[in-house]
Structure 1
Amino acid sequence: MTAYEPPTALPRDMLRREDVRSAIAAHDFGFVFRIARSEAGISYSKIAAECDMKPERVGALARGEGRVSTFSKIAQIADALRIPGHMLGLVSRDWEVAEPYVATASARVISTQRDGEPVRRREFFKVSAGVGLAVGLPDVEPLGTSQRIGSKVPEQLRRRTAQLRRLDDVLGGGDTYRVYIGEFQATKGLLRDGSYSEETRRELLSVLAEQAQQAGWAAFDGGKHAVARGLYEDSYEAASEADDSALAGNALAFLAYQAGNGDGSAGVEIAERSCRTAGPEAPASVRALLYERLAWAYAVAGNAGGTEKELEAAEVALGEKDQNPQPDWAAWVDGNELQIMTGRCWAELRRPLRAVPALEKALSQYDETHARDKSLYLSWLADAYVTSGEIEQAAAVTGRALELSVGVASVRPRERMAVVIRRLGAHRAVPAVAEVLEMARS
């Protein structure tokens, strides 16, 4: 604990106020800055100096313009304003006096390191993601007693679905499934109970298909495989009825990805059908997504030629200057994602000379806040290192993947890691391997 008390430290009685505590929990620092100036006499210039921010940035936040979301800056604000870590989703700061601020939660706290800051990863992101959604989710216009659904409602629902999709960036399916299935069920209710034009009906069905895919992915990620398959099938039916060939193709791609976990040939057949269903007129981002999913299906089936052909097709599609609107559900497919899929495919095909460079390059640019996905992708890099005989490096990468997967509500990282750990088991005499095997057991 340090003796230094910054001039921006908030009075303790202020930290006990319900409105201040709510704002802190929501990471609404603009509100906190306003209260600090108006009621504690702490100027914006002092806050700016202590938080290493520009005064105009502090003023903008106080006016409700923008948000603070990075680990390092939130930690700086916590230290400058002497906000106890547990109020922000951080572990205790080194200056804290335990007495009045000890967190009462009995849940086990799992810490990890990022930029030198220990962080309660799950709690931090649940707060951050939830706050962002609360601010950004578009409202759906009231339906009234007639339950007549206007033409604007499907687009409002689609924007809401796009915002909710951001949760998947930082949370696993175990955390998001209930949110996504609730949205899906609500839209089903509108279709069942409301009245609308034929055009609005088609748009609602398209939204329903998108929501079913979102809920299906969360179910798959959380280990609910039968539920996921049913939702993907529901999505395909709704998209087909809506004449949305791109979404119908993507529903099949999800089914192919799931089928490929058990039967490579079944995955290929469905993935090929997904590309035919979407067709050559689908938006470029959609075609890139479906081609790379087909490449993965070929890789699982052991077809190197088919894999290479579809990876090249995905790269061509990504390079197109498509002026048409690209759907939000395919927007995550970019050059880095394609590099990751390329590396995964070649790792699956036991071609480490191709897999390792692609994965290392892509993962060097991959933020560790996306813990689930990065731990998954590291598992393929570790697998490729085992194949190439670089056992110590494989062990090091596996250890990092295990660290990242802690506390993530997804079954997939541990399932993938189990494959790598089994392969490493043949090298348990290597000290680095023995250490990571012990880490996996614990």
Structure 2
Amino acid sequence: MTGHEPPTALPRELLERPDVRSALAAHDFGTVFYVARAEAGISYSQIAAECGIKPERVGTLAKGNGKVTSFEKIVRIADVFRIPGHMVGLAARPWEIPPDGPATAAPRREFLKTSAAASLAVGLPELSRPATGGRVGGDLPAKLRQRTARLRRLDDVLGGGDTYRTYLGEYQSTRALLRHRTYTQETGRGLLSVLAEQAQQAGWAAFDGGRHAEARGLYEASRIAAVDAGDAALAGNALAFLAYQGLREDRQAAVQTAARSCATAGPDAAPGVRALLYERLAWAHAVAGNADETERALDAARAALAEVDGAPQPDWAAWVDETELQIMSGRCWTELRRPLRAVPVLEAALARYDDSHARDKALYLSWLADSYLTAGEVEQAAKVTGRALDLSSGVASVRPRERLAPVLHRLGEHEALPAVADVLEQARG
């Protein structure tokens, strides 16, 4: 370790003690605070001042009550006590690396990737699987839906390459339950609806990880399950997924499928669902070059979103909000080569978009870079592309690099510019 060490730095022999190592791995900082005072003579008031935590809170944690969960606090505690990053799920901290050593990776993304599964498992509903041939209780579909919603949060911070097996396993487990257990007709419909959700989530992870054949099969299975369950909204969403994937092959057919998705869900679908499906219809039209139809679909999505007034929305559609709709609008105008419309919308929305959503932010930045290039702002395009490359590094998704490839190709025409040469070198690294 290099640089000045603060007076709160814990001795190496203390950090290496098995009980302290276990506490650090579990983010049990209350135990660390207790040991710091008892073994290193660091007072709770000093810990509070250095870590930016109220003194009474430090004492409460040291007694085993409560937990530190925010990324910022964990980083600060690691720096205050000089705890190496790997001991708490962080990348190497700047003070660990010699001045002439390699640049540090973004610690926030590394932290989220290493701890996402563990933190999301907290509160994951436990399920009592009935014995072979047993009867399924009527409460199981709701429990499965809650579990599915909780696991969906993994997609916020991990790519499909990391989540596909988890989501596929959930889908296969529910499918086996439907085949081998007994249940009432109502419970069966509920299970089919959950199965449709799970197939869509597994299909999305497959698509994100580059498994396109598996994705299509799961989307088709989802549509059939949703129709059998009488769940028009999920049936419509399955079609929207198929349209999104189909844009890679036949754009006009994908537009027709996207339009069917809206019609299938119908006008009585929850506002959030309609906003999601019209947003995806707008995207299909934009990729197909249909400017007027894109505008109308975006207007329909905006109107639907305005109806969301606090009433419960399906969890699988709840991520669509004003920021997401602005980003989709910017993406659409980028595809339609309207940079004057795209850039301000994307800049404003992405300023509010947290870096922890690394895959999605990298993707969205690629459209911003694309629009800057179309507008002739080459240096700015290079800067944004470099940011996207940083965010996408280490993400188990094929899509950011696929999206950035044509942007980098266009930047290659301006390689004489230092900013462009730097980002092209970064991309080759």
2:122 partner SS: helix
The yes-or-no answer on 1:28 pairing with 2:28 is: yes
The yes-or-no answer on 1:363 pairing with 2:356 is: no
Aligned AA for 1:256? A
User: How far, CA to CA, are the matches of 2:249 and 2:103 in structure 1?
Assistant: 33
Say which of 289, 311, 324 aligns to 2:276.
289
RMSD, aligned CA: 2.3
Can you list the C-alpha shifts for 1:78-126, whole angstroms capped at 9, x where unaligned? 122332221123344455599xxxxxxxxxx99434xxxxx2734x223
User: How far, CA to CA, are the matches of 1:30 and 1:197 in structure 2?
Assistant: 49
The yes-or-no answer on 1:277 pairing with 2:278 is: no
The residue aligned with 1:86 is 86
User: How far, CA to CA, are the matches of 1:341 and 1:267 in structure 2?
Assistant: 17
The residue aligned with 1:52 is 52
Say which of 206, 210, 221 aligns to 1:234.
221
Given the two structures, how large is their TM-score scaled by the length of structure 1? 0.89
Q: Are the counterparts in 2 of residues 288 and 315 from structure 1 also a CA contact under 8 Å?
A: yes
The residue aligned with 2:15 is 15
The residue aligned with 1:163 is 150
User: How far, CA to CA, are the matches of 1:244 and 1:368 in structure 2?
Assistant: 35
Q: Are the counterparts in 1 of residues 68 and 74 from structure 2 also a CA contact under 8 Å?
A: no
Can you list the C-alpha shifts for 1:345-389, whole angstroms capped at 9, x where unaligned? 000000111111110110111111111111111110111111111
In the TM superposition, what is the alpha-carbon distance from 1:12 to its structure 2 partner? 4.5
1:68 partner SS: coil
2:153 partner SS: helix
Say if 1:127 and 1:422 are closer, same or farther in 2 by CA, change over 3 A. closer
The residue aligned with 1:140 is 127
1:409 partner SS: coil
Say if 1:240 and 1:163 are closer, same or farther in 2 by CA, change over 3 A. same
Say if 1:365 and 1:190 are closer, same or farther in 2 by CA, change over 3 A. same
User: How far, CA to CA, are the matches of 1:431 and 1:148 in structure 2?
Assistant: 68
User: How far, CA to CA, are the matches of 2:244 and 2:292 in structure 1?
Assistant: 19
In the TM superposition, what is the alpha-carbon distance from 1:328 to its structure 2 partner? 0.7
1:367 partner SS: coil
Please give the residue correspondences for 1:359-438 in structure 2 after superposition, counting only pairs within 5 Å: 359-438=346-425
Say if 1:23 and 1:362 are closer, same or farther in 2 by CA, change over 3 A. same
**Structure 2 gap ranges (5+):** none
Aligned AA for 1:298? H
The residue aligned with 2:105 is 112
The residue aligned with 1:225 is 212
User: How far, CA to CA, are the matches of 1:66 and 1:327 in structure 2?
Assistant: 30
Q: Percent identity?
A: 67
Q: Are the counterparts in 2 of residues 110 and 407 from structure 1 also a CA contact under 8 Å?
A: no
User: How far, CA to CA, are the matches of 1:209 and 1:324 in structure 2?
Assistant: 23
Q: Are the counterparts in 1 of residues 5 and 82 from structure 2 also a CA contact under 8 Å?
A: no
Can you list the C-alpha shifts for 1:142-195, whole angstroms capped at 9, x where unaligned? 424652211121111111111111111111111111111111111112112211
User: How far, CA to CA, are the matches of 2:108 and 2:322 in structure 1?
Assistant: 31
Say which of 111, 117, 121 aligns to 2:109.
121
Please give the residue correspondences for 1:181-330 in structure 2 after superposition, counting only pairs within 5 Å: 181-322=168-309, 324-330=311-317
Say if 1:135 and 1:34 are closer, same or farther in 2 by CA, change over 3 A. farther
Say if 1:358 and 1:373 are closer, same or farther in 2 by CA, change over 3 A. same
